[in-house]
Amino acid sequence: MIAANVKDIKLVDLHSDAYKNVKGKVLISPACGSDEMVLRLFEVSQDGYSADHNHDFPHYVYVLEGEGTVELDGKKYPVEAGSFSFIPNGVHHQLVNTSTTGKMLKFLCMVPVEGHIGFGE
């Protein structure tokens, strides 16, 4: 169980060859009693991107601010605040910050517990 504010959650720099200019916060996870799903907040700086990958579990994305693209099985879709995506099992995907003004792309991503990797928890 948790009732908190995002400003009080540690921001983690995601160092990997798969990411560029990405930081994240784990908002809801097994650490607070969520046995099935994990909710993360990602911050992607200008010219940054999330991993270009696919996997055997679905996830859900909701864009809070910024602009970019979500690529789903080779097709790029523009995203901005209010955009959302359901990414089914096995769909190749990536999110990219396309801002030319330095604006951050911020999005929520919810995955099943087995999909929560990269945060060093």
pLDDT number for residue 121: 55
Q: DSSP letter at 42?
A: E
Domains of the chain: 9-115 (2.60.120.10)
Distance separating alpha carbons of residues 22 and 48, to the nearest angstrom: 6
Does the predicted TM-score (pTM) go above 0.85?
yes
Distance separating alpha carbons of residues 53 and 31, to the nearest angstrom: 26
**Tens digit of each residue's pLDDT, the chain (121 residues):** 899 999 999 999 998 888 999 999 999 999 999 999 999 999 999 999 999 999 999 999 999 999 999 999 999 999 999 999 999 999 999 999 999 999 999 999 999 998 887 676 5
Tokens standing for residue 114: 């087995």
First vs last C-alpha separation in the chain? 18
**3-class DSSP state of 27:** strand
Distance separating alpha carbons of residues 91 and 72, to the nearest angstrom: 6
